[in-house]
């Protein structure tokens, strides 16, 4: 039996620095906080959006509205998956019409989650702009979707997996590459 090989991509300090930089980039991209709304994708994207929002609060002294999005019901493979995935909470802070929405997720891979998120967001209004902010871009896109802000870019083969752990859910901050990943 071969143990999956784990390589650290970001340790806790590197993750914290990446989020700090991402917060600054979000502010630049949105030209301030006026129309800005951060929407995290369940589950770890929600925690990352919260961290970025807190960082912006520290930097600017402004509370940025944030929300959570569960895209399960918008998945393009819902008809094909076996046991139904557990659905998390969706919480959108008000009408999104005219807002600059920044979607926050942990890992960008095929792009299908983002596709689903775009469909779902359209049911909550017509944002002026939607941007994409991800902690790790692992390549391997199957749809024409690209991120605006990236914490770390890594080339990962299809047999491997990127695990993002966050304090709030997993008890520690860590991003690692798992070879021959078994879930």
Q: Is 167 in the site for another protein (CB under 8 A)?
A: no
Q: Is 158 in the site for another protein (CB under 8 A)?
A: yes
User: How distant, in Å, are the alpha carbons of 12, 52, 69, 87, 180 from that of 42?
Assistant: 21, 15, 6, 9, 25
Instruction: Tell me the closest approach of the beta carbon of residue 44 to another protein, in angstroms.
Output: 9
Residue closer to another protein, measured from CB, 20 or 72: 72
| All residues at 6 or more sequence positions from 60 whose CB lies less than 8 Å from its CB, including other chains | 27, 32, 33
Q: Is 83 in the site for another protein (CB under 8 A)?
A: yes
Q: Is 142 in the site for another protein (CB under 8 A)?
A: yes
Instruction: Tell me the closest approach of the beta carbon of residue 171 to another protein, in angstroms.
Output: 20
DSSP 84: P
Q: Is 155 in the site for another protein (CB under 8 A)?
A: no
Q: Is 1 in the site for another protein (CB under 8 A)?
A: no
Q: Is 100 in the site for another protein (CB under 8 A)?
A: no
Residue closer to another protein, measured from CB, 32 or 94: 94
Alpha-carbon gap, residue 108 to 131, rounded angstroms: 13
Q: Is 50 in the site for another protein (CB under 8 A)?
A: no
CB 85 within 8 Å of CB 70: no
Alpha-carbon gap, residue 64 to 86, rounded angstroms: 28
Instruction: Tell me the closest approach of the beta carbon of residue 96 to another protein, in angstroms.
Output: 10
Residue 91: exposed, middle, or buried by beta-carbon count in 10 A (0-12, 13-18, 19+)? Answer: middle
Residues near another protein, by CB under 8 A: 41, 70, 72-84, 86-91, 95, 105-110, 112-113, 119-120, 123-125, 138, 140, 142, 158, 161-162, 183
């Amino acid at each position: 039996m071969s143990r999956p090989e784990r390589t650290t991509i970001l340790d806790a300090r590197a993750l914290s620095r990446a989020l700090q930089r991402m917060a600054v980039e979000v502010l630049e991209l949105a030209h301030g906080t006026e129309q800005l709304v951060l929407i995290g994708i369940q589950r770890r994207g929600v925690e990352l959006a919260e961290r970025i929002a807190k960082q912006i609060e520290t930097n600017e002294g402004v509370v940025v509205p944030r929300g959570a999005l569960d895209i399960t019901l918008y998945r393009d493979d819902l008809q094909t998956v076996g046991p139904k995935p557990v659905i998390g909470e969706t919480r959108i802070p008000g009408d999104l019409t005219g807002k600059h929405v920044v979607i926050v997720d942990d890992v960008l891979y095929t792009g299908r989650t983002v596709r689903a998120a775009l469909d779902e967001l359209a049911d909550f209004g017509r944002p002026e702009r939607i941007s994409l902010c991800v902690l790790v871009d692992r390549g391997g896109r199957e749809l024409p979707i690209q991120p605006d802000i990236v914490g770390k870019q890594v080339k990962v083969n299809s047999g491997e997996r990127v695990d993002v752990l966050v304090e709030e859910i997993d008890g520690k901050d860590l991003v690692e590459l798992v070879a021959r990943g078994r879930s």
